[in-house]
Homo-oligomer: A and B are copies of this chain.
Amino acid sequence: MADYRVSFKPQDREVEVAEGTLISEAAAKAGIDLNMPCGGQGRCGRCAVIVEQGEVQRRSVARLSNEALEEGYALACQTVVKDDLVVTIPPQEKIERRLPTAQRVARVELPFAYDPEKDQAIRKYFLEIEPPTLIDKTDDLARVVRTLNTQHETGIARLAVDVALLRKMAGVLRGAQWRTTVVVETDTWVSPDGPPRLVDIVPGDTVASSWGVAVDIGTTSNVVYLVDLLTGRVVDTASDYNRQISRGEDVISRIIYAGKGDGLAELQGLVVGTINGLLKKLAADNGLSTDDIYKMTVAGNSTMIHLFLGMPPESIRMEPYITTSDRPLPVMASQVGVEICPLATVDCLPGVGSYVGADITAGVYSSGMCDYGGLTLFIDIGTNGEMVLGDCDWLISCACSAGPAFEGAGVRDGMRATAGAIEEVWIDDNTYEATYRVIGDERPRGICGSGLISLLAELFISGVMDKAGNIDVGLDTPRVRQGDHGPEYVVVKAEETATGRDIVINKVDIDNLLRAKAAVYAGFSVLARSVGIDLSTVEHILIAGAFGQYLDVENAIQIGLLPDVPRERIKFLGNTSIMGAYLALVSRESRAKIAELAHRMTYLELSADNTFHDEWVSALFFPHTHITDFPSVMELLKGKRH
Q: Which residues of B contact A368 (CB under 8 A)?
A: none
Q: Which residues of B contact A331 (CB under 8 A)?
A: 163
- Comparing A128-136, A223-231, A284-292, A496-504, the segment that makes contact with chain B is A128-136
* B170 and A311 contact, CB distance less than 8 A: yes
A103 interface residue per 8 A CB criterion: no
Which of B167, B190, B195, B354 has a CB less than 8 Å from the CB of A311?
B167
List A185-208 residues whose CB lies under 8 Å from chain B.
Answer: 188-191, 193-195
Which of B160, B167, B312, B607 has a CB less than 8 Å from the CB of A167?
B312
Contact bitstring A321-334, B, C-beta under 8 A = 1, else 0: 11111111101000
Q: Which residues of B contact A132 (CB under 8 A)?
A: 320, 322
CA distance A142 to B598 in the complex (A): 14
CA distance A326 to B329 in the complex (A): 29
* B354 and A324 contact, CB distance less than 8 A: no
Which of B134, B193, B311 has a CB less than 8 Å from the CB of A163?
B311
* A166 and B328 contact, CB distance less than 8 A: yes
A336 interface residue per 8 A CB criterion: yes
A137 in contact with B191 given A163-B311, A315-B170, A336-B163 (CB within 8 Å) = no
Residue of B nearest to A316 (CB): B170
A59 interface residue per 8 A CB criterion: no
Contact bitstring A168-192, B, C-beta under 8 A = 1, else 0: 0111001000000000000011110
List A96-125 residues whose CB lies under 8 Å from chain B.
Answer: none
A266 interface residue per 8 A CB criterion: no
Q: Whole-angstrom distance from the CB of A400 to the nearest CB of chain B?
A: 14
Q: Whole-angstrom distance from the CB of A152 to the nearest CB of chain B?
A: 20
CA distance A329 to B188 in the complex (A): 15
A603 interface residue per 8 A CB criterion: yes
* A320 and B137 contact, CB distance less than 8 A: yes
List A334-358 residues whose CB lies under 8 Å from chain B.
Answer: 335-336, 353-354
Contact bitstring A517-546, B, C-beta under 8 A = 1, else 0: 000000000000000000000000000000
* Copies of the polypeptide in the assembly: 2
* A315 and B137 contact, CB distance less than 8 A: no
Q: Which residues of B contact A323 (CB under 8 A)?
A: 139-140
Q: Which residues of B contact A190 (CB under 8 A)?
A: 158, 160, 188, 190-191, 194-195
Q: Which residues of B contact A161 (CB under 8 A)?
A: 325, 328-329
A141 interface residue per 8 A CB criterion: yes
Q: Whole-angstrom distance from the CB of A458 to the nearest CB of chain B?
A: 39
A12 interface residue per 8 A CB criterion: no
Q: Whole-angstrom distance from the CB of A171 to the nearest CB of chain B?
A: 6
Q: Which residues of B contact A195 (CB under 8 A)?
A: 190-191
Looking at A164, A311, A336, the one whose CB has the most chain B CB atoms below 10 A away is A311
A410 interface residue per 8 A CB criterion: no
A309 interface residue per 8 A CB criterion: yes
A310 interface residue per 8 A CB criterion: yes
* B193 and A325 contact, CB distance less than 8 A: no
Residue of B nearest to A140 (CB): B324
Q: Which residues of B contact A139 (CB under 8 A)?
A: 322-327, 353
A608 interface residue per 8 A CB criterion: yes
Residue of B nearest to A133 (CB): B320
CA distance A319 to B131 in the complex (A): 11
Q: Which residues of B contact A311 (CB under 8 A)?
A: 163, 166-167, 169-170
A240 interface residue per 8 A CB criterion: no
List A594-635 residues whose CB lies under 8 Å from chain B.
Answer: 603, 605, 607-608
A423 interface residue per 8 A CB criterion: no
Q: Which residues of B contact A138 (CB under 8 A)?
A: 322
A314 interface residue per 8 A CB criterion: yes
Q: Which residues of B contact A188 (CB under 8 A)?
A: 190-191, 194
* A140 and B170 contact, CB distance less than 8 A: no
Q: Whole-angstrom distance from the CB of A4 to the nearest CB of chain B?
A: 33
Q: Which residues of B contact A164 (CB under 8 A)?
A: 335
* A319 and B191 contact, CB distance less than 8 A: no
A170 in contact with B312 given A139-B322, A193-B194, A320-B133 (CB within 8 Å) = yes
Residue of B nearest to A174 (CB): B315
Q: Which residues of B contact A314 (CB under 8 A)?
A: 170
CA distance A276 to B336 in the complex (A): 27
Q: Which residues of B contact A167 (CB under 8 A)?
A: 309-312
- Can you list 6 A-B pairs, Cβ within 8 angstroms, ordered by A? A140-B322, A141-B325, A158-B190, A174-B315, A188-B194, A190-B194
Closest 8 CB pairs of A and B: A191-B194, A134-B608, A141-B325, A191-B191, A134-B320, A139-B323, A193-B193, A160-B190
Given A137-B354, A142-B327, 15 more contacts at CB 8 Å? A132-B322, A134-B319, A134-B608, A139-B322, A139-B353, A140-B315, A140-B323, A140-B324, A142-B326, A160-B189, A167-B310, A170-B315, A170-B322, A188-B194, A194-B194
